[in-house]
Amino acid sequence: MSFFLNVLVGGALAGVMYALVAIGFVLIYRASGVFNFAQGTMILFAALTFANLVEMGAPMLLAFLVTFALLIGSAFLTERLVLRPLANRSVITLFLATLGLSYIFEGVAQIAWGTQVHSLDIGLPDEPVDLFGLSISSFDLAATAIAALLVVGLALLTGRTGLGLALRAVAADPLAALSIGIRQERVTVIAWSLAGFVALVAGLLWGARSGVQFSLALIVLKALPVLIIGGFTSVGGVIVAGIVVGAGEKLAEIFLGPVIGSGIENWFAYVLALLFLMIRPTGLFGQRDLARI
C-alpha cells in the first residue's frame, strides 16, 4: 500500500510540472484564442539561454532577467510579425503558425547555444524527505510549492486586477473589447510575456530535474492531453488534470506495464484524453460554451 501511495504521490508531483506547462497554454489561449504549440520550445529556449548565461558566469538573478527580457522581446515579435498579420484567421491556421514558431524557437535556441545537454543547479536540494510515512523528493516538494505560488499569483492577476479584466475581456469578445478601448495588441503581448515567464519557470524546474536538453520541448506533448482533460479555459482544472495525468501514467506504467508491456507513459495521457473527449468533451472544469459538437 505504501508503495502504491509513493508512486501516486511521485506521479502527482510530476503532474504539477505538466500543469505548469499547460498553464502557459491557458494564458495565451484565453487572451488570444491561439493554441500555442510553441510553448514547448519556448521552455527549451528559456532553459538553454538561462543555463548558458549561468555557465558564462552570470549571477542567477541577472540570467533570469535577461532570459525573461528575451522572452518579452519574442512576445513582441510574435505579436507583430505572426499574430497581427494572421488576425481573424481560423484557429487551425493560427495553430499551424505556432507550429512554425516552434521550429524557429528550437532552431534559434540550438544555433545560439548548441545541442549538448546542460546540467542546471538552481539551488533546490534533492533529498528524500519523510512526509506522513512517504518518502518524497524535497526538490519535487519545492517545485510543487513554486508552481502553486505561480498559479495563485496568476489567478490573482487574472481575477483581481485591471489587467486581468482586460485579458478576460479580450478572450470573451475581442470586438467588444476593442470598442471599449482595450488595446488588444498590448493585451496579447502581455499574455505571451506571461506565458514566457511561466515557460521560464517551468524550464528551470524541469531542467534542474532532468537536464537542459531538447527533450524539454517535448513536454508540450504531455501538456496537450492535460489541457483537454482539464478544459482549455480553467487554470484550476488544468492543475487537477496535470496531477491526474502525472499520477495516472506512473501508476499505469508500474502496475499495468508488466501486463501489457513497458513504455505506456508515452501514450497513456492521450488515451485518457481521448476517453474524456468521448465522454466529457468540455473537460473537467471547462466552460460549456466551447461548442465542440
Partner 1 sequence: MAAILPSDPAATQVAPVRTGRRWPLWLLALFTVALLPFAIGSDYLFSAILVPLLILSLAGLGLNVLTGYAGQLSLGSAAFMAVGAFATYNLQLRLPGLPMPLAMAGGGIVAAGTGLVFGLPSLRVKGFYLIASTLAAQFFIPWLLSQYSWFSNGNDSGVVTAPPLKLGPLDLDSPAGRYALTLTIVALVTWGASNLVRGPAGRAWIAVRDMDLAAAAIGIAPGRAKLFAFAVSSFILGVAGGLWAFTYLGTVEPAGFDLDRSFQILFIVIIGGLGSIRGNFLGAAFIVLLPVGLSIAAGVLAGSQVDPALIENIQKVIFGILIIFFLIVEPDGLTTLVDRALRTQFRWIGSRKSGNQE
The residues of the shown chain that bind partner 1, judged by CB under 8 A, are 33, 35, 81-82, 85-86, 88-93, 95-97, 99-108, 110-111, 115, 173, 221, 224-225, 228, 260-261, 263-264, 266-267, 270-271, 273-274, 277-278, 281, 287, 289-293
What would the DSSP string read from start to end of 91-135? HHHHHHHHHHHHHHHHHHHHHHH-SS-B----S----EEEETTEE
13 or 228: CB nearest partner 1: 228
Q: Is 112 helix (H, G, I), strand (E, B) or coil?
A: helix
Nearest residue to 185 (alpha-carbon basis) of 93, 71, 105, 81:
81
Supply the minimum distance, in Å, between the C-beta of residue 12 and partner 1.
22
Residue 223 grid coordinates: 501538456
Supply the minimum distance, in Å, between the C-beta of residue 25 and partner 1.
12
56 or 111: CB nearest partner 1: 111
Cβ atoms of 41 and 105 within 8 Å: the answer is yes
Neighbours of 171 (CB within 10 A): 18
90 or 179: CB nearest partner 1: 90
8 or 217: CB nearest partner 1: 217
Supply the minimum distance, in Å, between the C-beta of residue 6 and partner 1.
26
Supply the minimum distance, in Å, between the C-beta of residue 9 and partner 1.
25
| Locus of grid cell 495521457 | 269
Torsion of CA 22, 24, 25, 27, to 10 degrees: 130
Residue 250 grid coordinates: 506512473
Residue 44 grid coordinates: 527549451
140 or 249: CB nearest partner 1: 249
Cβ atoms of 209 and 20 within 8 Å: the answer is no
Supply the minimum distance, in Å, between the C-beta of residue 55 and partner 1.
19
| Locus of grid cell 512576445 | 75
Q: Is 171 helix (H, G, I), strand (E, B) or coil?
A: helix
Supply the minimum distance, in Å, between the C-beta of residue 146 and partner 1.
28
86 or 165: CB nearest partner 1: 86
